Chain A
Amino acid sequence: MFSRLNVGVLALQGDFERHLFRLSALKVSPREVRQKDDLSGLDGLIIPGGESTTLNLLIDRFDIRGKLAEFSAHKAVWGTCAGLIMLARQVNDPQIQTLGIIDISVVRNAYGRQVHSFYSIIEANLNGKMVPLEVSFIRAPIVKNYGNNIKVLAQYRGSPTLLSHQNCLVSSFHTELHDDLTLTKYFLENFVSVFK
Chain B
Amino acid sequence: MNLADKDYKIRVGLAEMLKGGVIMDVVNAEQAKIAEQAGAVAVMALERVPADIRAEGGVARMADPQIIEAIQKTVTIPVMAKCRIGHFAEAEILQALEVDFIDESEVLTPADYKYHIDKWRFRVPFVCGCRNLGEALRRISEGAAMIRTKGEAGTGDISEAVKHLREINAAMKQLTVMSPEEINGVAKELAAPLSLVQLVAKTGKLPVPNFAAGGVATPADAALVMKLGAEAVFVGSGIFKSSNPEKRATAIVTATAQFNDPKIVAECSRGLGEAMKGMSAAGIPREDLLQIR
- Interface 9-residue window, one of A55-63, A98-106, A152-160: A55-63
The residues of B that contact A138 with a CB separation of less than 8 Å are: 10, 13-14, 17
The residues of A that contact B101 with a CB separation of less than 8 Å are: 114
* Docked-complex contact B19 and A13, CB < 8 angstroms: yes
The residues of A that contact B264 with a CB separation of less than 8 Å are: 62
**A174 at the binding interface (Cβ < 8 Å):** yes
* Docked-complex contact B76 and A58, CB < 8 angstroms: no
Chain B nearest Cβ from A190, distance in angstroms: 25
A34, A93, A136, A178: the one within 8 Å of B76 (CB): A93
Q: State in angstroms the CA–CA spacing of A62 and B254 once bound together.
A: 9
Which chain B residues (41-86) contact chain A, with CB distance < 8 Å? 41-42, 72, 76-78
**A50 at the binding interface (Cβ < 8 Å):** yes
Q: State in angstroms the CA–CA spacing of A49 and B21 once bound together.
A: 12
**B39 at the binding interface (Cβ < 8 Å):** yes
Which chain A residues (100-130) contact chain B, with CB distance < 8 Å? 108-109, 112-115, 117-119
Chain B nearest Cβ from A110, distance in angstroms: 12
**B161 at the binding interface (Cβ < 8 Å):** no
The residues of B that contact A112 with a CB separation of less than 8 Å are: 98
**A40 at the binding interface (Cβ < 8 Å):** no
Select from chain B the residue with minimum beta-carbon distance to A50.
B17
**A31 at the binding interface (Cβ < 8 Å):** no
- Considering only CB atoms and an 8 Å cut-off, how many residues of chain B contact the other chain? 40
* Docked-complex contact A18 and B16, CB < 8 angstroms: yes
The residues of A that contact B78 with a CB separation of less than 8 Å are: 51, 113-114, 139
Which chain B residues (96-118) contact chain A, with CB distance < 8 Å? 98-101
**B7 at the binding interface (Cβ < 8 Å):** yes
B77, B100, B257: the one within 8 Å of A58 (CB): B257
The residues of A that contact B76 with a CB separation of less than 8 Å are: 53, 93, 95, 108-109
**B244 at the binding interface (Cβ < 8 Å):** no
**B40 at the binding interface (Cβ < 8 Å):** yes
**B258 at the binding interface (Cβ < 8 Å):** yes
**B95 at the binding interface (Cβ < 8 Å):** yes
The residues of A that contact B124 with a CB separation of less than 8 Å are: 114-115
**B121 at the binding interface (Cβ < 8 Å):** no
The residues of A that contact B41 with a CB separation of less than 8 Å are: 13, 50-51, 54
- Considering only CB atoms and an 8 Å cut-off, how many residues of chain A contact the other chain? 38
**A132 at the binding interface (Cβ < 8 Å):** no
Contact with A along B241-277 (1 / 0, CB 8 A): 0000000000001100110110010000000000000
A13-B257, A114-B125 known; A54 vs B21 contact (CB < 8 Å)? yes
The residues of B that contact A117 with a CB separation of less than 8 Å are: 10, 13-14
A12, A82, A139: the one within 8 Å of B20 (CB): A12
The residues of A that contact B20 with a CB separation of less than 8 Å are: 11-14, 16, 50
**A43 at the binding interface (Cβ < 8 Å):** no
Contact with B along A8-31 (1 / 0, CB 8 A): 000111111110000000000000
**B293 at the binding interface (Cβ < 8 Å):** no
The residues of A that contact B6 with a CB separation of less than 8 Å are: 119
**A183 at the binding interface (Cβ < 8 Å):** no
A-B contact pairs, 19 of them (CB 8 A): A14-B17, A18-B16, A50-B41, A51-B17, A51-B41, A51-B77, A53-B39, A53-B76, A54-B41, A57-B37, A58-B39, A82-B17, A109-B76, A113-B78, A113-B98, A113-B99, A117-B13, A177-B9, A177-B12
